[in-house]
Amino acid sequence: MKKSQDDLLENQVIEIRLLIQAIYEKYGYDFRNYSQAHIKRRVINRLNLSGMANISDMIHEVLINHKFVDQLLMDLSINVTEMFRDPSFYKAVREQVVPVLKTYPFIKIWHAGCSSGEEVYSMAILLREEGLYNRTQIYATDFNPVIIKQAREGIYPINRMKEFTLNYQKAGGKSAFSDYYTANYESAKILDTFKKNIVFATHNLVTDSVFAEVHMVVCRNVLIYFDRNLQDKVVGLFSDSLTGGGVLCLGSKESMQFSGFNHNFESLVKNERIYIKKYHV
């Protein structure tokens, strides 16, 4: 009995690997170095929702059905986000990163893995309140064009505004959060003024190169979904993208400690995983 279960698990691992390889070879999206636990969880969930008999059927569907591929890309995207997520992070940016940014005549920020845009607009609001938004260019990227379209629209469920408002207040907000969006029945739309300095674009951290030379990179709670080798590759990409003295913001569960690029950075806010790139590396 145990042997039979072991065989089933082994076959499932092989099928998932073949599915991920099919997505890569057919469409160019590379999930081969994502956390296997994350991939397995999301694939099995899609299998259950699809009503298909097994993962091999999913492989066939991937090869012939673009709509199914779009569903899988949404499943495998990392879309856990909210406005002013982890308010203590934004408080730290306001108090300890903004003084660094104020030393630049023009500021370029890269929000990598921006998902549906909530955290990008949060940063734009914070920068406006600190008098920096008008001299800032934000590049907001994600590998999934569907999610980038959502981010560009900046429309969110109205029932989340109470939660977002509380986060904003905890993050040291200086105004009424309702000043920053218009409400219409079931939806809330971020004001267009916060979009004028944001460029939304597709960029794949796994396969693409440096996006731009910037003064700040924000990529929070994305690396935890990658294996160790891919984490290191992406941190190297961020290091290459940052100017000397630039700021790297990772998620609270992520660390530079084991990275081969650790020597390029110094900790600025330890508990929030905010780092400064050294000038001579």
CATH of the domain at 199: 3.40.50.150
**DSSP assigned state of 54:** S
Q: Which domain holds residue 118?
A: 87-277
Quote the CA–CA distance of 139 and 159 in Å, as a whole number. Answer: 28
Based on the fold, state whether residues 39 and 101 are members of the same structural domain.
Answer: no
**DSSP assigned state of 226:** B
Quote the CA–CA distance of 225 and 111 in Å, as a whole number. Answer: 17
Q: What would the pLDDT profile of 57-101 be if each residue is shown by its tens digit?
A: 999 999 999 999 988 988 888 777 899 999 999 999 999 999 999
Instruction: Tell whether the model's pLDDT for residue 5 goes beyond 70.
Output: no
Cβ neighbour number for residue 119 with a 10 Å cutoff: 25
Q: What pLDDT score does 1 carry?
A: 47
* DSSP-assigned states of every residue in 90-127: HHHIIIIIHHHHTTSSSEEEEEES-TTSHHHHHHHHHH
Side chain identity at residue 121, one-letter code: Y
Instruction: Tell whether the model's pLDDT for residue 2 goes beyond 60.
Output: no
Q: What would the pLDDT profile of 155-196 be if each residue is shown by its tens digit?
A: 999 999 999 999 999 999 999 999 999 998 899 999 999 999
- Which residues lie closer than 8 Å to 131 by C-beta, 6 or more apart? none
Handedness of CA 55, 56, 59, 63 (dihedral sign): negative
Helix, coil or strand: residue 74: helix
Distances (CA, A) of 163 to 60, 87, 169, 197: 41, 11, 10, 26
Q: Which of these three, 13, 41, 76, is where a domain ends?
A: 76
Max CA distance (Å), the chain: 68
Based on the fold, state whether residues 111 and 197 are members of the same structural domain.
Answer: yes
In total, how many domains does the chain have? 2
Q: What pLDDT score does 6 carry?
A: 62
Q: What pLDDT score does 3 carry?
A: 53
Q: What would the pLDDT profile of 233-252 be if each residue is shown by its tens digit?
A: 999 999 999 999 999 999 88
- 22-44: average pLDDT: 90
Q: What pLDDT score does 36 carry?
A: 87
Based on the fold, state whether residues 148 and 237 are members of the same structural domain.
Answer: yes
**What's the mean per-residue pLDDT of the chain?**
91
Instruction: Report percent pLDDT > 70 for the chain.
Output: 96
Based on the fold, state whether residues 103 and 193 are members of the same structural domain.
Answer: yes
Based on the fold, state whether residues 63 and 199 are members of the same structural domain.
Answer: no
Instruction: Tell whether the model's pLDDT for residue 13 goes beyond 70.
Output: yes
Host H or E run for residue 202: strand 198-202
156: left (phi over 0), alpha (psi -120 to 50) or beta: beta
- 117-126: average pLDDT: 97
Based on the fold, state whether residues 187 and 52 are members of the same structural domain.
Answer: no
Please give the residue that has the higher pLDDT: either 104 or 79: 104
Based on the fold, state whether residues 103 and 225 are members of the same structural domain.
Answer: yes
Based on the fold, state whether residues 26 and 91 are members of the same structural domain.
Answer: no
- 247-273: average pLDDT: 89
Please give the residue that has the higher pLDDT: either 11 or 275: 275
Q: What pLDDT score does 4 carry?
A: 63
Q: Per the domain annotation, does 81 fall within a domain? A: no
How is the beta sheet containing 181-184 ordered, strand by strand?
155-157, 187-190, 181-184
Q: Which of 108, 122, 36, 81 is nearest to 220 (CA)?
A: 81
- 128-157: average pLDDT: 95
Quote the CA–CA distance of 61 and 135 in Å, as a whole number. Answer: 47
Q: What pLDDT score does 210 carry?
A: 83
Based on the fold, state whether residues 184 and 101 are members of the same structural domain.
Answer: yes
Based on the fold, state whether residues 50 and 103 are members of the same structural domain.
Answer: no
